[in-house]
Amino acid sequence: MGILANVFTWWNGATFGTWLGLRGKTQVGTDDLGNAYYEGGRDTAGNPRRWVIYAGSNDSSRVPPEWFSWLHHQIEGTPDQSLPPVRQWQKPPVPNQTGTALAYRPPGVLDKGGARVRATGDYEAWSPDA
């Protein structure tokens, strides 16, 4: 991706203006997906401002739950300081699968042949002549 794409397209990652805006801000951590998290300055309510710079496309479903909590001021410190360690039975978060081959497709969808299970006896189809 060239420098012009970085200047004009926000959906492919952080723009040049975003990187300039992060000057003087502190990087507080990264997650397993490579997203970087920054903090610095104050908003109008006096809370610290927090940002995420995505590694790859800008997709908010790629922010893990623990960092989501940090971004939205649900926890004060970074997740490794404020949250208990991950339990053995917990699964890693999965990004949004819509539009991919892994997306959920119910029975009867056209991709699977469009054949639905026959209705049971409690359903009667409407007809205009009835």
Q: Model's pTM, two decimal places? A: 0.63
pLDDT at 59 over 90: no
CB-neighbour burial class of residue 28 (10 A; exposed 0-12, middle 13-18, buried 19+): buried
pLDDT in tens, 88-101: 998 887 778 888 88
pLDDT at 117 over 90: no
pLDDT in tens, 35-51: 999 998 888 888 898 98
* Contact call for residues 95 and 59 (beta carbons, < 8 A): yes
How far is Cα 83 from Cα 79, in angstroms, rounded to an integer?
A: 5
- Domain boundaries along the sequence of the chain: 3-94
Helical (H) or strand (E) element with 48:
strand 48-53
**pLDDT for residue 74:** 93
